[in-house]
Structure 1
Amino acid sequence: MALSRLALLASAGLIVAALSTPTSDLPDAAASAGALKVVKRTPSGDYTANGNKIMRAGSSSSELAGTWGVYNGPADMASVAYEKGTKAQRADLRWLINQPRAGWMGSWIPDGEIAAKTRRYIELSQNGDPDALVQVTIFRMDPWYTASKKKAPTKKQIASYKRWIRASAAAIGDTPTALMLQPDATFLRTVPNFKLSSRLIRFAAKEYGALTNTRVYLETGGWDWPSPGQGGVKEAVRLLTAMGMQHADGVVTNTTHYNKTAWDVQRVADISEAFAKKGLRGRKGIVNTSSNGKGFEFGRYTGKDPDHAFVCGKKLKGTCVTLGIPPTTDVANPVWGLDEKTRQLAKKYVDAYMWVGRPWLKRQTSPFMMKRTRKLIKYSPYRGQ
Structure 2
Amino acid sequence: MRSPALTPVETRTSPPSGRRRLAIGAAVGFACVVGALVGPAALASAAGSSYRLSGASLHRNRGHVAAVRDRGAGGARALALGKGAIATGSFSLPGPALGVRVRARAGRCAARPILSLGFDGARPLRLKLSLRRFRDQQLLVLLDHGAHVVKLSVARGGAACRQAVLIDRLVFVPASPTPSGSNPVAAAPLWVNPDTSAARQAQAWRDSRPADAAQMDKIASQPQATWFGHWNDTVRSDVAAVVDRAAEAGRLPILVAYDLPYLDCGGFSSGGASSASAYQSWIRSFAAGIGDRRAVVILEPDALPEWDCLSAEQRASYISLLSDAIAVLTAHPGVALYLDAGNSAWQPADEMARRLTQVGAQRARGFALNVSNFQTTESSLAYGKQVSALLGGAHFVVDTSRNGNGPPAGNAWCNPPDRALGARPTARTDDPTADAYVWIKSPGESDGPCNGGPDAGVWWPDYALGLAQRAAY
Q: Give the TM-score normalised by structure 1.
A: 0.69
Counterpart in the other structure of 2:382: 266
Counterpart in the other structure of 1:296: 407
Q: Kindly state the Cα deviation for residue 204 of structure 1 after the two structures are TM-superposed.
A: 1.1
Cα 1:83–1:201 shift into 2, 3 Å:
farther
Counterpart in the other structure of 1:368: 459
- 343, 349, 357: which is aligned to 2:441? 357
Conserved in 2, the CA contact under 8 Å of 1:107 and 1:141?
A: no
**Following the alignment from structure 1 to structure 2, what is the Cα–Cα distance between the partners of residues 349 and 293?**
22
| Aligned residue type for 1:329 | A
Cα 1:157–1:83 shift into 2, 3 Å:
farther
Cα 1:142–1:85 shift into 2, 3 Å:
farther
1:308 aligned onto 2:415: yes
1:329 aligned onto 2:427: yes
Conserved in 1, the CA contact under 8 Å of 2:202 and 2:214?
A: no
| Aligned residue type for 2:424 | P
**Following the alignment from structure 1 to structure 2, what is the Cα–Cα distance between the partners of residues 327 and 203?**
30
Cα 1:90–1:127 shift into 2, 3 Å:
farther
Match of 2:199, SS state, is helix
**Following the alignment from structure 2 to structure 1, what is the Cα–Cα distance between the partners of residues 320 and 261?**
13
Conserved in 1, the CA contact under 8 Å of 2:243 and 2:295?
A: no
Match of 2:306, SS state, is helix
**Following the alignment from structure 1 to structure 2, what is the Cα–Cα distance between the partners of residues 310 and 351?**
29
Conserved in 2, the CA contact under 8 Å of 1:220 and 1:253?
A: yes
Conserved in 2, the CA contact under 8 Å of 1:73 and 1:124?
A: no
Q: Give the TM-score normalised by structure 2.
A: 0.57
Q: Kindly state the Cα deviation for residue 61 of structure 1 after the two structures are TM-superposed.
A: 6.1
Counterpart in the other structure of 1:43: none
1:177 aligned onto 2:287: no
Counterpart in the other structure of 1:191: 310
Q: Kindly state the Cα deviation for residue 189 of structure 1 after the two structures are TM-superposed.
A: 2.2
Q: Kindly state the Cα deviation for residue 257 of structure 1 after the two structures are TM-superposed.
A: 1.7
Q: Kindly state the Cα deviation for residue 90 of structure 1 after the two structures are TM-superposed.
A: 3.2
Paired-residue identity, %: 22
| Aligned residue type for 2:379 | W
Identify unmatched segments of 5+ residues in structure 2.
14-137, 139-180, 449-455
Q: Kindly state the Cα deviation for residue 22 of structure 1 after the two structures are TM-superposed.
A: 5.4
Counterpart in the other structure of 1:125: 246
**Following the alignment from structure 1 to structure 2, what is the Cα–Cα distance between the partners of residues 194 and 61?**
33
- 184, 206, 223: which is aligned to 1:86? 206
Conserved in 1, the CA contact under 8 Å of 2:198 and 2:217?
A: no
Identify unmatched segments of 5+ residues in structure 1.
25-39, 41-59, 227-231, 277-281, 312-320, 333-345
**Following the alignment from structure 1 to structure 2, what is the Cα–Cα distance between the partners of residues 107 and 153?**
5
Match of 2:447, SS state, is helix
| Aligned residue type for 2:353 | V
**Following the alignment from structure 1 to structure 2, what is the Cα–Cα distance between the partners of residues 128 and 324?**
25
Higher strand share: 2
Counterpart in the other structure of 1:340: none
Conserved in 2, the CA contact under 8 Å of 1:68 and 1:133?
A: yes
**Following the alignment from structure 2 to structure 1, what is the Cα–Cα distance between the partners of residues 194 and 258?**
19
**Following the alignment from structure 1 to structure 2, what is the Cα–Cα distance between the partners of residues 181 and 257?**
16
> How many residues are aligned here?
292
Kindly provide the CA deviation profile for residues 150-184 of structure 1, in whole angstroms up to 9, marking residues without a partner as x: x9999x62121111111111111222211111111
Conserved in 1, the CA contact under 8 Å of 2:340 and 2:367?
A: yes
Match of 1:368, SS state, is coil
Match of 2:301, SS state, is coil
Matches within 5 A, 1:74-223: 74=195, 76-87=196-207, 88=210, 89-110=212-233, 113-129=234-250, 132-147=251-266, 157-185=275-303, 186-192=305-311, 193-223=314-344
| Aligned residue type for 1:114 | V
Of stretches 198-207 and 321-330 in structure 1, the one that deviates more from structure 2 is: 198-207
- 376, 379, 384: which is aligned to 2:470? 379
Match of 2:437, SS state, is strand
Cα 1:200–1:291 shift into 2, 3 Å:
same
Q: Kindly state the Cα deviation for residue 235 of structure 1 after the two structures are TM-superposed.
A: 0.8
**Following the alignment from structure 1 to structure 2, what is the Cα–Cα distance between the partners of residues 363 and 248?**
28
Q: Kindly state the Cα deviation for residue 350 of structure 1 after the two structures are TM-superposed.
A: 0.3
Kindly provide the CA deviation profile for residues 258-304 of structure 1, in whole angstroms up to 9, marking residues without a partner as x: 1111111111111111111xxxxx4100011111112126x714xxx
Kindly provide the CA deviation profile for residues 12-36 of structure 1, in whole angstroms up to 9, marking residues without a partner as x: 9x65xx25x8568xxxxxxxxxxxx
Kindly provide the CA deviation profile for residues 49-97 of structure 1, in whole angstroms up to 9, marking residues without a partner as x: xxxxxxxxxxx963321422424255x3323333434331432222211
1:234 aligned onto 2:350: yes
Match of 1:362, SS state, is coil
> Higher relative contact order by CA 8 Å / sep ≥ 6: 1 or 2?
1
Higher helix share: 1
Cα 1:243–1:73 shift into 2, 3 Å:
farther
Match of 2:414, SS state, is helix
Match of 1:293, SS state, is coil
- 268, 280, 286: which is aligned to 2:397? 286
Conserved in 1, the CA contact under 8 Å of 2:370 and 2:399?
A: yes
| RMSD of aligned Cα (Å) | 2.8
Conserved in 2, the CA contact under 8 Å of 1:70 and 1:98?
A: no
Conserved in 2, the CA contact under 8 Å of 1:289 and 1:325?
A: yes
**Following the alignment from structure 1 to structure 2, what is the Cα–Cα distance between the partners of residues 218 and 62?**
16
Cα 1:61–1:380 shift into 2, 3 Å:
farther
**Following the alignment from structure 2 to structure 1, what is the Cα–Cα distance between the partners of residues 391 and 248?**
37
Conserved in 2, the CA contact under 8 Å of 1:222 and 1:264?
A: yes
